[in-house]
Amino acid sequence: MASDATVLEQYAVQPDVSRPQRIRRSLWDFIRHKPLGAICGAFVLLLVIIALFPGLFATASPTVGFIPDRYQGPSLSHFFGTDELGRDLYSRIIYGARTSILIGFGVVALSTGIATVLGTASGYFEGWVDTIVQRIIDIGIALPGLVFVILFVTSVQQIPLVFRIIISVGFLIAMGNTRIIRGAAIAAKANQYVEAARVVGASDTRIIFRHVLPNVFAIILVTASIQIGAAIIIEASLSFLGFGVQPPTPDWGYMITSAQDRIVQYPHLAIFPGLAIFFTVYCFNMFGDALRDVLDPRLRGAR
């Protein structure tokens, strides 16, 4: 009798679980199975909040300094010390997050949009469409990346500098992402339910939006989360070379550049902006890896 009761319990109709409960359960499973990814995700969320509301976290003006306070070390009044103009380094790093996050998300939004359109079209239609798209991708990948970005940023003066960086870096990142999405689209197209939809007369547009893209979405999401870190690194490199965001706008890469001449006497000028870049990129990468492990059925049991 006990075994019969157990069987009945297995086949009993379970109560419907509301969407908030499902979200909480999924979030708890993510935290339990991927604690490092969850911690990094919390840091990413905090960074986005800081970028949106830097005034809530900064303790001083990021652009106004007091010359007698220049080159001070970390203290209770200046958590990260002061720079060559007496400006509070902690506040400049807080406001610098806005620049890095804006460019990082802008680059990924542009590159993801381009890669999704080109990769899905190339993988689904194949034939001459695939040939043309792949030759464009070959040309884009063959370009010397940093040289192309610098040339674009310095040549196209009609567009604001931030948008020049977003367009040039987004184009470069889209080239590699297109290949990834193309492979996923080819795999999704080979599924039997896609053939069944085509047999019953579904249009290519309906098949792409109803059957192909939903299966590619997880890869798009994971790729985007990881590429944000790469975009922030490229933006910081441009600023370090003098082609990025110009002063007095706070920027992590430019802070390291301005600290080169006095890095031995005042190492805090480069250490704290460098740590901001390191932890930001690290957390975006770890969060993206955790998302990949959770969303990919083949890796769902990984730890």
Write down the domain spans for the chain: 84-273
Query: Can you read off the two tokens belonging to residue 83?
Result: 């720079």
Residues counted in the chain: 303
Query: Can you read off the two tokens belonging to residue 300?
Result: 């769902």
| Tens-binned pLDDT, residue by residue, of the chain (303 aa) | 445 444 434 444 445 556 677 777 777 777 777 888 889 989 999 999 998 998 899 888 888 878 888 888 888 888 888 888 888 899 999 998 888 888 889 999 999 999 999 988 888 888 888 889 888 888 888 888 888 888 888 888 888 888 889 999 999 889 888 888 888 888 888 888 888 888 888 788 888 888 888 888 888 888 888 888 888 888 888 888 888 888 788 888 888 888 888 888 888 888 999 999 999 989 988 888 888 777 765 545 444
- Which 3 state secondary structure label does DSSP give 167? helix
Question: Would you state the pLDDT for residue 241?
Answer: 83
Which amino acid appears at position 161 of this protein?
L
Question: Would you state the pLDDT for residue 71?
Answer: 83
Q: What is the DSSP letter of 212?
A: I
pTM of the model: 0.80
What are the two backbone dihedrals, phi and then psi, of residue 16, each rounded to the nearest 5 degrees?
A: -65, 135
Q: Which of 269, 281, 228 is nearest to 93 (CA)?
A: 269
- Looking at domain 84-273, its CATH architecture is Orthogonal Bundle (1.10)
Query: Angle at Cα 285 formed by Cα 280 and Cα 286, nearest 5°?
Result: 100
Question: Would you state the pLDDT for residue 110?
Answer: 93
Assign residue 166 a region: left if phi > 0, alpha if psi is -120 to 50, beta otherwise?
alpha
Tokens 């003006």 found at: 61
